[in-house]
Structure 1
Amino acid sequence: MFVVEDLILGEEKIEYVKLGKEKGFSALENEIILKDLCMSCGLCESICQEEVIKVEEQPLLIGECSNCGDCLIYCPRSFLPIDDGEVLGEYVMKIAARAKDERITKVSQDGGFVTALLCYALEKKIIDGAIVSMTTEEWRAKPFLATSIEEIINAAGSKYTPSPNLRLLKGAKERGLKSIALVGLPCHIQGVAKLQHYNNDLAKIIKFAVGLFCKSSFNTSLLREFVTKYNIDLNKVKKLDIKGKYFRVYKNGDVIKVPMKEIGKFARSSCKYCFDFSAKLADFSVGSVGSAEGYSTVIVRSEIANELLNGMMEEGVIETTEVEDELIIKLSETKIKEAKKRVKAKIKEELPLALKQFVR
């Protein structure tokens, strides 16, 4: 089921609702997964009452479905209109920040703000854990529930393959955690927003959410391509990074620079329909764009985020400077424009022949 609204068609507004015959996981599979819309956020695994959905790179049904339909209802790719009025969304302030703790700065991707934030919140007992992404030996991302400073620091650094972080929400609640932070991409944050909208119990343990700037996630085949083409031993890779127009692989003091145009083919199909670069629904939005080398750009969007940032500044946990938002705005506008174009084409594919003329 989908509805074509002003967000996509502007003045050409029509409403077209397709009522499928599928129920339960079959509906999720046919409406989201098989149409290349699944972002592998992992929420359907946590929300499944029967515990018969398993998410790795994509959701799989591993038992008998009760056809409750929660997986499709809570999916961030269903029934979630995103207001594109303000290109950066609502926020309290924008700032560039970097951690002062050397344990963090020597392993962090940019300014280490997210790691410093999580460590600060854990030390102050504001949270008792954080859902983050870890890196496997093959440089693939995997979700991880960190409950110590050491675990949080070990999870530092950007990952570029899918990580179904929301699959750990249910487990965190069952372990008795009462207040957690969640770090994820805009798609993960949209899943959190769905939980909050429906006042689901899983949302009640999330103290704050950190959204990372994201243009696209990449298929794991990207890593296999690097290994083959550049004869890379992944065990010797120290860091992966995107800077400007290049994807960079750091190993043994050397840096392999690959033009972003070359790796575009590895972008996940589902990412092409995403409107959100700066994680507009998060408490904090964080990335490197807009800040000087060694700093993180931080967009503060909520009261809890503002309180945490002020506390970190007062206690000298971070140092700050100004941020330039021109490139953030440009990348956000580009992502919205490209996504609208692709969604419009996707809608046209689904429409009956008689209605295609309304979508040009």
Structure 2
Amino acid sequence: MQKNNISTITRNALCTACGACAGICPSDAIKMITNTAGYLVASVNGDLCNNCGKCLEICPSNPENLPSIETGDPFHGVCIAGYVGYARDNTLRQISQSGGIVTALLCYLLDQNKIDGAIVNNFSQEERRPQAVFVSTKPELIEACGSYYAQSSVVKTILENSDKRLAAVVLGCQAESLKLIREKYPKINLPKLTIGLICAGQYSRKMIDDLIEKSSCNHERILKFRFRDKAVGWPGDVHIVSSEKDCWISKQNRLRLKPVYELHRCIACYDQMNIFCDIVCGDPWGISNKQQPEGHTVVIARTEAGKKLLENAIRDGAIVLEELSTKDIFTGQTVDGRHKTKFYTSRDIFQENNWLFPFPKDWFDNITYTPANRRTHHELDKRLEYSRDLYLTRDREDYFRKTNLKKKQLMGNLIKNLFNRVLYYTKTKK
């Protein structure tokens, strides 16, 4: 008999590595491992699994899960208020992502003794990977500043620290898992407040290796890794600090690698805007006069608790915010155009290929969106096929063959596009 556990999710390339399953398993049958392609995945020990099904009950990729939602629009979620702003502490603003609001709020909660600590990501020097950790001091929070686009098991770390008063920085899938846990296991102590990040997806942890190899720090001990360091101005370049020197890689190199390492399930995700958190923060894309080098953060309060925290932090001088229409935030993040089209097209492609789709179908009925044209459908079909195939690859040599071929294709497309631009420019000048 097939066991009622999370393995059905990993077999379908849908694990986001939130770690909720590993954290809630009563028999310690689930471990988070790195697969051949560098993705962090849940692995079930069949000898220990007692078929209780708890892991599937709280998995954000199980289409049978229906966390309660207070709005008919899962792309926008509940929006109480919108803002744009930055951390009052200029040093904190400069070393943090965007305008530093997330770190400033966590530091404020510590100063006010509202929490014992926070669950955040920092960089493991030993593994050269991001890791979800509990931190309880401002220096630890500051050390963890920045973006980590590779996976880490945030919910597992939250559950391991459920005896504490926590705040947590989460992605949409992680926030949904916490929502499911809260509804199905209300006695578990979960974070008092969640700060969500606007999310464009996670990537294989081998993307970090690739970027380090492109630098002159490759053969040294890596002390720090930042996907986006704002020292060169927002949005930031890749910054790698080794035992010997600092190395910088332009953001264009990072962007070119995204199609090579993107996570299959993330491409099809609806929750870019993190609807299950208390506060969501992100970059000020499309917001006029708020894209200066020093950085700003757009913010949406989704709960009264989140709104109250923002108001108190403003009053006490921890952050600077001005009101901003949430409509402008969603427009800047291209939610109602590009994002919805990508989601609904992905859903069609999953159905065409008879792949397990990770979300309840009835959530997304009667929502207006722009259907994809033939070219967009074809390109997304290829993205999903490649990312799924890469995720499920078991042979190491086959993995390198696939990623190297993908890089060659991307480089060929880049050269072709550059040639066409030069040709167009030359014709227009004549």
TM-score by length of 2: 0.69
Work out the CA distance in 1 between the residues paired with 2:194 and 2:223: 32
The SS at the match of 2:168 is strand
Match of 1:48 in 2: 25
Match of 2:7 in 1: 29
The SS at the match of 1:161 is coil
Q: CA deviation at 1:329?
A: 4.5
Q: Which moved more, 1:305-314 or 1:292-301?
A: 292-301
* Contact kept in structure 1, 2:215 and 2:247, CA below 8 Å: no
Match of 1:74 in 2: 58
* Contact kept in structure 1, 2:131 and 2:152, CA below 8 Å: yes
Q: Give CA-to-partner distance per residue, 1:119-140, whole Å, 9 cap, x none.
A: 1112212221211111122652
* Contact kept in structure 1, 2:97 and 2:229, CA below 8 Å: no
Question: Closer, same or farther in 2 for the Cα pair 1:134/1:262, shift >3 Å?
Answer: closer
Work out the CA distance in 2 between the residues paired with 1:232 and 1:336: 40
Amino acid at match of 2:201: S
The SS at the match of 1:36 is coil
Question: Closer, same or farther in 2 for the Cα pair 1:237/1:296, shift >3 Å?
Answer: same
Is the counterpart of residue 344 in structure 1 residue 348 in structure 2?
yes
* Contact kept in structure 1, 2:18 and 2:156, CA below 8 Å: yes
Q: CA deviation at 1:61?
A: 2.5
Match of 2:381 in 1: none
The SS at the match of 1:94 is strand
Match of 2:359 in 1: none
* Contact kept in structure 1, 2:24 and 2:159, CA below 8 Å: yes
Q: Of 58, 68, 86, which residue of structure 1 is paired with 2:41?
A: 58
The SS at the match of 1:45 is helix
State the percentage of identical aligned residues: 24
The SS at the match of 2:306 is helix
Who wins on radius of gyration, i.e. which is larger? Answer: 2
Match of 1:198 in 2: 184
Match of 1:220 in 2: 205
Amino acid at match of 2:154: N
* Contact kept in structure 2, 1:289 and 1:327, CA below 8 Å: no
Q: CA deviation at 1:85?
A: 2.1
Q: CA deviation at 1:342?
A: 1.8
* Contact kept in structure 2, 1:89 and 1:280, CA below 8 Å: yes
Work out the CA distance in 2 between the residues paired with 1:132 and 1:95: 23
Work out the CA distance in 2 between the residues paired with 1:182 and 1:92: 20
Match of 1:39 in 2: 16
Match of 1:309 in 2: 310
- Aligned residue pair count: 325
Work out the CA distance in 2 between the residues paired with 1:344 and 1:34: 20
Is the counterpart of residue 335 in structure 1 residue 339 in structure 2?
yes
Unaligned runs of 5+ in 1: 1-20, 352-359
Amino acid at match of 1:226: L
Q: Which moved more, 1:252-261 or 1:101-110?
A: 252-261
Amino acid at match of 2:190: I
Work out the CA distance in 2 between the residues paired with 1:115 and 1:247: 17
Work out the CA distance in 1 between the residues paired with 2:105 and 2:76: 22
